[in-house]
Amino acid sequence: MADLKKAVQAHIDATNKRDWARFKETLANDVVYDEVGTGRLLKGSDAWTEAYQGWIEAFPDVQGKVSAVHIAGDTATVELTWDGTQNGPLPTPSGTIPASGKRQQTRASLVMTFDGDSIKEAHHYFDMVSLLTQIGAMPS
């Protein structure tokens, strides 16, 4: 049986280090990624990798910090905070938000189902209103 806490940390570490080859190794090829904060539903490891690379363009210094991991069977629920500065444009369905230079800290949860040590499904919940308010795209 896979050590899901280690698998979760490997996934977040790969994101933090921008090690996209390692990032993709943490995913099943046919992974389904549900980015609840934006409404995007992506299929496949390439699509999820490209989505995260887009976030990195907008927040080049962003780091995910895991505060808790809860395991139940083949599912890990991860509590984390994404902390970074919006130094790049952020594309949204309503248009692109120009770089603000403002730092944000957004709490999030990732609910991930694994097949061995590969993520086969993930639901990413984060507070989009808080993020947009912190970077000045919404009034506080």
55/48 Cα distance (integer angstroms): 11
Is 72 within 8 Å of 92 (Cβ atoms)? Answer: no
What kind of fold does domain 4-134 have according to CATH? Nuclear Transport Factor 2; Chain: A, (3.10.450)
Full 3-state SS string of the chain: CCCHHHHHHHHHHHHHHCCHHHHHHCEEEEEEEEECCCCEEEECHHHHHHHHHHHHHHCCCCEEEEEEEEEECCEEEEEEEEEEECCCCEEECCEEECCCCCEEEEEEEEEEEEECCEEEEEEEEECHHHHHHHCCCCCC
The model's pTM is 0.93
Each residue of 76-86: pLDDT tens digit? Answer: 999 999 999 99
φ/ψ (deg, to 5) at 9: -65, -35
Average pLDDT over residues 15-28: 98
What pLDDT does 140 receive? 80
Q: What is the mean pLDDT of the chain?
A: 96
85/101 Cα distance (integer angstroms): 6
Each residue of 97-136: pLDDT tens digit? Answer: 999 999 999 999 999 999 999 999 999 999 999 999 999 9
